[in-house]
Structures are given as structure tokens and as C-alpha cells.
Structure 1
Amino acid sequence: MKKMHIIQTTNDDVLEQSFSLYDMNLRLTLRYNAISTGYQFDLFDINNDEYITKNKGLSVGSPSLIEFNLPFVFVLDDKLGLGINAISKDDLNNRMQLLIMDKEEYREAIRQGFRA
């Protein structure tokens, strides 16, 4: 059974954490952009000593990294179901959560949503 993972977040302007997932050692740097009231992230592959992506944006309900040759995507989930992006930096820690899901798990979640 596949399982999504929730990235622990705070309302800090910059949040950095490392984790091992999908046989990869990764470092995530998550930044709040006060001008766009949104979030961007860098994802670094520790094993290969290279960035997978830099300054990639997050948007509610849109899979980030779907176009990359990776086994997973990041999904910014609005826990309150408002379906809107952040309006303040406190939203990430309060209203939203950052999920990591494998691509097939994400596709299945989308299929289930359309059936509802």
C-alpha cells in the first residue's frame, strides 16, 4: 500500500529539512515569497550532490515536479478545502500542508476526486 508523506512545516520565512524517501536522500528548502504571497522551494539530491530544481513554485491542488523524472510529486493541500493559495505566510502552517505522494498515488487521488 502506498502512503503519502506530510512535510512538517512552520511559518518561518525559510524552512530547510533533509529526509530520505523513495531511495533518495533529499534536502528541501521552502521559502515564503511575501510579494506573491506564495511558496517556492529548492530540492537538492544529496546522493548526487546536485539540485533537482530551484525556485519551483507551489500552488494549491497542482502537482509540483510532475514533469520531472521522479517517482513522486509535491502537492500543496488546503486542509480547509477553500481551494485558494496562501494569503499570508501563516497559511502554510495553519491552513495548508505539503504532501509528497508517488505519482500513481496522486493520479489515483485525482481519479477518485472526479468520481465524487
Structure 2
Amino acid sequence: MYIIQTTNDDVLEQSFSLYDMNLRLILRYNAISTGYQFDLFNIDKGEYITKNKGLSVGSPSLIEFNLPFVLVLDDKSGLGINAISKDDLNNRMQLLIMTKEEYREAIWASSRT
């Protein structure tokens, strides 16, 4: 599991290498929905994996894609609610990238408690 470093900027762009892929993530805050959308670009293939994909707390984004990972927006406060301001991403939330198996294990572990 990897934690994506975030800020409270309206747009955040960063590139990284994970799971044998070179990726560029563009994360945007939407003030109208008080939520986050992202584009994910595969640098190696020169093509977008997805554009304007939404993030929601606890929901695995990209689960339907043929990728070895998912992105998960985690509410560190334990409230389990989505953003109410753009400062939430840098303060209350964190963006995680984890394998699908890691995600399944985390869900399984939380359902047993």
C-alpha cells in the first residue's frame, strides 16, 4: 500500500512508478460537489487510463479496470464521510493506492470487528 502525498491545492499533479507502471495522477477538487476527481495517465503507453474519475471515501476507484491496484480515499478521522471542504484532503483524508488483494483484506478485516 502506498500513500499519495497530497496538498490542499485545487489541482495536484504528480508522477510515480508503481506495480511496474509509470503513472501520472492529476487530482482536482470540485468546489460544487465538494469532492475529488482524478485523471490517471499511463506514461509508458502514452494514454489515459481514466479521466474525471470520482473519489468517494471507502470506495475502491478503478476496481472495474484491469489493473493490479485501486485508489481509495481514506478518512483518517474515522467518521467515514466525504469531503466538506478542500482542506479535508490534506488534513482529514489520505489517498491510498493498494493492490486489489490488499483492499479485499482490509474490507474483510474491518467486517470482522
Range class of TM-score, shorter chain: over 0.9
Unaligned runs of 5+ in 1: none
Is 1:112–2:79 an aligned residue pair? Answer: no
Is 1:19 aligned to 2:45, yes or no? no
1:49 to 42, 46, 50: 46
Aligned equivalents of 1:100, 1:90: Cα separation in 2: 20
> What TM-score do the two structures reach when normalised by structure 2?
1.00
Aligned residues: percent identity? 88
1:44-87 deviation per Cα after TM superposition (whole angstroms, max 9, x unaligned): 00000000000000000000000000000000000001111000
Structure 2: which amino acid aligns with 1:36? S
Structure 2: unaligned runs, 5 residues or longer: none
Q: Number of aligned residue pairs: give it.
A: 113
Kindly report the root-mean-square deviation, in angstroms, between the aligned alpha carbons of the 2 structures: 0.3
- For residues 66-109 of structure 1, what are the alpha-carbon distances to aligned partners after superposition, in whole Å with 9 as ceiling and x for unaligned? 00000000000000011110000000000000000000010011
Matches within 5 A, 1:59-78: 59-78=56-75
Please give the TM-score of this superposition, normalised by the length of structure 1.
0.97
